[in-house]
Amino acid sequence: MDTVRNIILYAPAVLLSIVLHEFMHGYVADKLGDPTPRRAGRLTLNPLNHIDPIGTIILPAFLLIVTRGQVVFGWAKPVPINPMNTLNPKRTMGLTAIAGPLTNFGLAVVCTIFLKIISFAGSLHIIGWILKPIAIMFIGGLVINVVLFVFNFIPIPPLDGGRVLVWLLPDEQARAVAKIEPYGMFIIFALLALNPGNVLNKTIFGVLSIFQWFI
């Protein structure tokens, strides 16, 4: 019963977090002069335009069931972007890339603020039976957004962190890092499987602990 409840309460947070992440990629690209996301119909918050059947539905639902809500992760269809349509393609790619993770960080902050308010209201014994499911929903939002923020900032293309790194590096080094992109996902999956030093988990829990301290 708890698992079914968690799926129902976490699903909106997961969907909103993933959709807003991709939407902001397209929004920033559009503002910088690239019409590609708009022409592809991706400058919308309609989740149907962003859903990837596996990454947005099947995988998150599977993780919610198997881990009983302890681990949640997913993705949406990548927003098509062509930085060559803009005056400074390298800068456009960097700013577009960083927009997604920063959106997740902002959503994590919003979830934390609401959880703080709920915690205060709960201490006053205000309608606890209503506050509990709302709190669970915001906890799910906090966790998924911290995971998306940390994971997407891994500095390996094609993840957002890799593209931000290409933006920040001098041209020669940037080209060298950009060449990794065709093999990037294989490297990322290998790192996730090996998990050297448990770095990813420690980073996620470290960031979460900061938000939890505030709450």
Confidence of residue 84 (pLDDT cuts 50, 70, 90): very high
pLDDT digits (tens, 9 = 90+) for 29-65: 999 999 999 999 999 988 888 888 887 778 777 776 7
Q: Which position among 6, 7, 14, 22 bears the catalytic label? A: 22
Give yes or no for a contact between 111 and 145, defined as CB atoms under 8 angstroms apart. Answer: yes
- Please give the single-letter amino acid code of residue 115: L
Domain housing 149:
2-214
DSSP state of 77: P
pLDDT value of position 176: 93
pLDDT of residue 125: 64
126: which 2 tokens? 């205000």
pLDDT of 204 reads 86
Angle in degrees, CA 184, 187, 190, rounded to 5: 150
pLDDT tens track for 149-177: 999 999 999 999 999 999 999 999 999 99
Spell out the alpha helix ranges (H) of the chain: 2-31, 36-39, 59-67, 89-123, 128-152, 160-168, 171-178, 181-194, 199-214
- Percent of the chain topping pLDDT 70: 89
Q: Among this protein's residues, is 181 annotated catalytic?
A: no
Domains in the chain, number: 1
Q: What is the pLDDT of residues 89-122, one digit of tens each?
A: 999 999 999 999 999 999 999 999 999 988 887 6
* 128-152 vs 89-123: helix crossing angle, rounded to 10: 160
Give the predicted TM-score (pTM) of the model.
0.87
